[in-house]
Amino acid sequence: MSRIGKRPVALPSGVEASVSGQTVSVKGPKGQRQFTAADDVTLSVADGAVSVEPRGKSKRARQQWGMSRTQIQNLITGVTEGFKKELEINGVGYRAQAQGNKMTLNLGLSHDVVFEVPEGVTVTTPKNTEIVVEGIDQQLVGQVAANIREWRKPEPYKGKGIKYKDEYIFRKEGKKK
């Protein structure tokens, strides 16, 4: 039995959910999202909660049971609170500046990097060394943050680069005389 899957996902006030076939549509104050579940699970909305049940006892049905419930929970969290990733830039002369749907990164390269922000995500720079990525789609927010970090990953000797705010960089000692 899936401990995660057997708990129904409660719908907070202001959030509507509807099921048609294998697709769950969730509408909330921040927007609308939908998720299509695998054929191995049954979805239903009752008593202000979305519940997921497996079809059969196969391993795949049990895997999809917990995963589908978590995806539905993420839909509801996204349309109520949203998701957020914070990045920090460390290094002399390294900075970022967001303008509309483009962000300019100065990362010590021979040219400035112009990063196109995809639809459904907002990128802000409260300081020129901080980047905040926000949106209602958890996967898209994480992917955009990873794409930004990819331009200059933090290095272990001086710690220069783009890192997540809560990330720990294992520091190495330089060579000795």
pLDDT number for residue 1: 64
Strand pairing class (49-54; 9-10): antiparallel
**Do 88 and 159 share a domain, yes or no?**
yes
Q: What is the pTM assigned to this prediction?
A: 0.86
Same domain, residue pair 96 and 138: yes
Angle, vertex CA 19, rays to CA 14 and CA 20, nearest 5: 140
Residue 177 domain flag: no
Are 106 and 68 within one domain? no
Q: Are residues 93 and 117 in the same domain?
A: yes
Phi-psi region of 11 (alpha: psi -120 to 50; beta: other; left: phi over 0): beta
Q: Which of 37, 58, 80 finishes a domain?
A: 80
Phi, psi at 5, each rounded to 5°: -65, -30
Same domain, 74 and 89: no
Q: Which of 45, 80, 115 is the last residue of a domain?
A: 80
pLDDT of 25: 92
For residue 48, the enclosing domain spans: 9-80
User: What CATH number did the domain enclosing 68 receive?
Assistant: 3.90.930.12
Cα 70 from Cα 72, distance rounded (Å): 5
| Residues 159, 96 share a domain | yes
If asked whether residues 76 and 93 sit together in one domain, one would say no
Here the tokens at position 71 are 């995806």
Cα(109)–Cα(126) distance, rounded to whole angstroms? 23
Q: Which of residues 80, 101, 116 is at a domain's end?
A: 80
One domain, residues 131 and 158? yes
Cβ 41 vs Cβ 64: under 8 Å: yes
Q: Would you give per-residue pLDDT tens digits along the chain (177 residues)?
A: 668 888 888 999 888 988 898 899 999 999 999 999 888 889 989 888 998 889 888 899 888 998 999 999 999 999 999 999 999 999 899 999 999 899 999 998 899 999 999 999 999 999 999 999 999 999 999 999 999 999 999 999 998 999 999 999 999 998 888
Cα–Cα distance between 13 and 5 in angstroms, integer?
22
pLDDT confidence of residue 153: 93
Q: Are 162 and 152 in contact (CB under 8 A)?
A: yes
Are both 117 and 102 inside the same structural domain? Answer: yes
CB contact at 8 A, 93 and 108: yes
